[in-house]
Amino acid sequence: MAGCLAIASALACGLAPAGSAGAQPAPAACTKATIQAEFTQIPGSQGAGQVAYTLTIENYGTGACTLAGLPALRLSAKHGASLPTHVTTHPGGRYTVTLAAGQYAQASASFTPDIAGAGEPGNHCEPVAHWLRTTLPAGGGTFLTPMTATPVCQHGAMSFTRLKAIPIEPNCPATTISATFKGLGPPFGGRVTYALVLTNTSAGPCLVDGNVGLVLDSASGPAPPTAIHWPLAYPYIIAAGKSATLDAAGYSKPDAAEPASGPCEPVASAVTVWMPHTSTFTIPVSPARAFCHGGALATTGLFLNG
């Protein structure tokens, strides 16, 4: 090396290129060993023959990995039979998404669940899809992705946005959440709906990483029963000063096993809210009421509320 001139290139002298020392290798392609996914309906999105869904893909491995765009997707029936599927991405073209450990990416999809295409039989255009068969590129593997069950008309035509990596945010702690659980009007058709509104009072965004739990409670006397039907788990980021809403639909009329007169179950005057991976808190039920059918509640996923 002593004979190298100062103006000679580092490569000619056998030196390593500047900045190469300690360079980290590029992340490997994501495989089914470290990827999980859900395909969930966006609450309140159905209308005018269209509905919107969100595909969420999470890297639960210990290191970063990359996705070369949207995986290959195939709709499947309840017991795994393949269904017609035609996926397009807008905008098109190649792109890559890098996911750190614990990070997820999302893409929105729109399609029609009830307007038949040419050659399809009326509103029951295709069999109900219960799964997306997801195939990762470059030999990454194939796995079944659970989805909110629905028929996909127009021979399985679905339009997706590009996948976008979602910044990693801290889980929403109970200490920075202001919450209410209020009725959305009088009972109708034997059902009643309450809204859980979660407001993020902190200075930054926070993550609700899964389904919010609800347990009916009473200020005095026996605790009422609770039987929750949850949608598929779905991560949701609440921006600073913003709110998210979860609707919970229950029964206002007794079933055959409950008394026909008087309250069908003990009156719920409070509800305990469980925030995934954090803590719980209890808030009033306004107005207090008895939830029939053993406290059965069907909840939506969270959705933006201002």
> Is 256 in a helix, a strand, or coil?
coil
pLDDT score recorded for residue 201: 97
HSE of 123, CA atoms in CB hemisphere, 13 A: 3
Dihedral class, residue 90 (left if φ above 0, else alpha if ψ from -120 to 50, else beta): beta
d(CA 199, CA 202): 9
pLDDT score recorded for residue 26: 83
Place of tokens 């290129």: 17
pLDDT tens sequence across 4-39: 333 333 334 444 444 455 566 789 999 999 999 999
Residues of the chain with pLDDT under 50: 1-19, 306
Tokens of 287: 């107005």
**Residues counted in the chain:** 306
Tokens of 303: 């959705």
In order of their start, the domains of the chain are: 28-166 (2.60.40), 174-304 (2.60.40.10)
pLDDT score recorded for residue 8: 37
